[in-house]
């Protein structure tokens, strides 16, 4: 029987959109190399109020009301609760809504479109057809086409879940960004800024990750690992036992997909990572129901080509495009800053009213409010940073122009 939608991929994006499509009573099947309940290896962080705003059941493994950052020697409390998603709970939350889906195991290899449907063939030669194909295969998607870009910026991080000779951060706490770098040789301090992202996980286990927010080319894992150990050595903290390592590398500023293509993307495949922060899971939770509803409304009355257009439009309406270009401009500015400038910028950012900085991070501000937040921050930064922002207007002002045109 021909299905309405084939979802390819069972990462967070695949499960989020599959669940939302089922909620709309569409006939959906899924295709992924492993079963959809196989645990993910990535640790996903999110602000607790983002989940609460969605009325989700508790899908967190840890939460930290005590969350701080350091952009100088002075500690900056953020007064906002941060959490780690419990992957199994989140998977179950989505899978419970997917009870009508059949998941097939295989790797999507080729695709063919006819007037009435699209057919995906797996590497093993199996074929699956549907009126709409949603590619949720991550940052290097199976089918989604996008204009090439030669200076893609990557977020990179090297982390360990480990026991230490003594607590590497204050027990019970989450350190979102520790940009202090006095432990580095002076010649390394202003180049390739990296920060520590760290949490107390309980039972004497801490997660510590040396992170590069965005860089082109990506900062190598070896350098991040060296910096993490330099940080620990400077505080005379030894690693006693490593439970698990995490290597994190993903693109922050892929170009937007070609919105005329028949296959529709979701998640990393559709460039949904927040270009200025790297977060995406909250966006998946917020945007999957919107996309699914648009698909459900158009399913019966549209041809497959029209359906794809409706879906892309629902995923990337003008308002969202405008904000995407503004964030992308912000990312270019961030990447041009040296360590002291970056610290000044973040200091000013977290001095904004909380509704502004949290709305910026969650991409929940309307465009005029986003611009107001940026202007407000411009007023708070020192001249050295203001000059950097103005220079970015010269080099990457076209992104703001794209925003106006969207």
Ligand X SMILES: Cc1cc2nc3c(=O)[nH]c(=O)nc-3n(C[C@H](O)[C@H](O)[C@H](O)COP(=O)(O)OP(=O)(O)OC[C@H]3O[C@@H](n4cnc5c(N)ncnc54)[C@H](O)[C@@H]3O)c2cc1C
**Residue pair 254/271 in contact by the 8 Å Cβ criterion:** yes
Residues 6+ apart with CB under 8 A from 15: 36, 91, 94, 95, 98
Min CB(16)–ligand X separation in Å: 8
**Residue pair 117/129 in contact by the 8 Å Cβ criterion:** yes
Question: Which residue in 168, 257, 268, 304 binds ligand X (CB under 6 A)?
Answer: 268
Q: Which range binds ligand X by CB under 6 A, 144-152, 265-273, 366-374, 380-388? A: 265-273
Min CB(246)–ligand X separation in Å: 6
Question: Which residue in 33, 220, 289, 359 binds ligand X (CB under 6 A)?
Answer: 33
Nearer to ligand X, 98 or 381 (CB): 98
Binding-site string for ligand X from residue 278 to residue 307, where x marks contact by CB under 6 A and - marks none: xxxx--------------------------
> Rounded to an integer, what is the distance from CA 127 to the centroid of its chain?
31
Q: Which range binds ligand X by CB under 6 A, 4-12, 251-259, 313-321, 355-363? A: 4-12
326 is a contact residue toward ligand X (CB under 6 A): no
Q: What angle do CA 199, 204, 207 make, to 5 degrees?
A: 30
Question: Which residue in 59, 67, 108, 130 binds ligand X (CB under 6 A)?
Answer: 108
**Residue pair 99/23 in contact by the 8 Å Cβ criterion:** no
Q: Which range binds ligand X by CB under 6 A, 42-50, 111-119, 188-196, 315-323? A: 42-50
CB atoms within 10 A of CB 252: 26
Interacting residues with ligand X between 132 and 151 (CB under 6 A): 136-138, 142
Find, among 377, 260, 351, 368, the residue nearest to 77 by Cα: 351
Spatial separation of the C-alpha atoms in residues 272 and 246, rounded to whole Å? 22
Spatial separation of the C-alpha atoms in residues 296 and 398, rounded to whole Å? 36
Min CB(352)–ligand X separation in Å: 21
Nearer to ligand X, 197 or 388 (CB): 197
Min CB(226)–ligand X separation in Å: 19
Spatial separation of the C-alpha atoms in residues 383 and 381, rounded to whole Å? 7
Min CB(171)–ligand X separation in Å: 22
CA 333, 336, 338, 339 torsion-angle sign: positive
User: Torsion angle, CA of 187/189/190/191, rounded to 10 degrees?
Assistant: 80
Min CB(401)–ligand X separation in Å: 28
Min CB(393)–ligand X separation in Å: 29
158 is a contact residue toward ligand X (CB under 6 A): no
Residue 363: φ, ψ to 5°: 55, 45
Q: Which range binds ligand X by CB under 6 A, 97-105, 273-281, 354-362, 381-389? A: 273-281
31 is a contact residue toward ligand X (CB under 6 A): yes
Q: Total binding residues for ligand X by CB under 6 A? A: 30
Nearer to ligand X, 11 or 340 (CB): 11
Residues 6+ apart with CB under 8 A from 118: 6, 111, 112, 129, 130, 131, 132, 133, 262, 263, 304
Find, among 162, 185, 187, 177, the residue nearest to 237 by Cα: 162
Nearer to ligand X, 184 or 324 (CB): 324
Question: Which residue in 59, 169, 232, 248 binds ligand X (CB under 6 A)?
Answer: 248
Positions touching ligand X (CB under 6 A) are: 8-14, 31-33, 42, 44-45, 107-108, 136-138, 142, 246, 248, 250, 267-269, 273, 278-281
């Amino acid at each position: 029987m021909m299905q309405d939608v084939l979802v390819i991929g069972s990462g967070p994006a695949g499960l989020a959109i599959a669940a939302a499509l089922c909620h709309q009573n569409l006939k959906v099947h899924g295709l992924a190399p492993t079963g959809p309940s196989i645990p993910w290896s990535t640790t996903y962080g999110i602000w607790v109020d983002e989940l609460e705003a969605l009325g989700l059941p508790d899908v967190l493994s840890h939460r930290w009301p005590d969350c701080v950052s350091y952009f100088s020697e002075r500690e900056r409390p953020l007064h906002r609760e941060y959490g780690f998603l419990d992957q199994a709970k989140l998977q179950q939350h989505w899978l419970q809504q997917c009870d009508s889906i059949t998941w097939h195991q295989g790797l999507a290899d080729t695709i063919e479109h006819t007037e009435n449907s699209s057919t995906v063939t797996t590497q093993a030669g199996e074929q699956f057809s549907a009126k709409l194909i949603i590619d949720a295969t991550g940052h290097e998607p199976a089918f989604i086409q996008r204009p090439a870009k030669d200076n893609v910026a990557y977020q990179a991080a090297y982390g360990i879940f480990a026991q230490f000779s003594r607590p590497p951060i204050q027990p019970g706490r989450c350190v979102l960004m520790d940009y202090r770098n006095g432990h580095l040789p002076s010649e390394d301090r202003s180049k390739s800024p990296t920060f520590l992202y760290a949490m107390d996980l309980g039972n004497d286990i801490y997660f510590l990750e040396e992170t590069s927010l965005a860089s082109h080319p990506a900062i190598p894992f070896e350098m991040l690992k060296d910096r993490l150990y330099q940080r620990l050595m400077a505080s005379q903290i030894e690693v006693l036992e490593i439970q698990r390592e995490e290597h994190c590398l993903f693109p922050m500023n892929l170009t937007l997909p070609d919105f005329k293509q028949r296959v529709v993307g979701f998640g990393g495949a559709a460039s949904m990572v927040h270009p200025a922060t790297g977060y995406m899971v909250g966006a998946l939770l917020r945007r999957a129901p919107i996309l699914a509803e648009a698909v459900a409304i158009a399913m019966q009355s549209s041809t497959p080509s029209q359906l794809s257009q409706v879906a892309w439009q629902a995923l990337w309406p003008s308002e969202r495009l405008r904000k995407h270009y503004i964030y992308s401009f912000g990312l270019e500015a961030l990447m041009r800053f040296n360590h002291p400038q970056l610290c000044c910028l973040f200091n000013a950012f977290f001095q904004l009213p909380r509704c502004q900085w949290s709305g910026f991070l969650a991409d929940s501000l309307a465009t005029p409010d986003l611009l107001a937040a940026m202007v407000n921050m411009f007023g708070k930064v020192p001249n050295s940073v203001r000059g950097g922002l103005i220079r970015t207007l010269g080099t990457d002002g076209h992104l703001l122009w794209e925003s106006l045109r969207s």
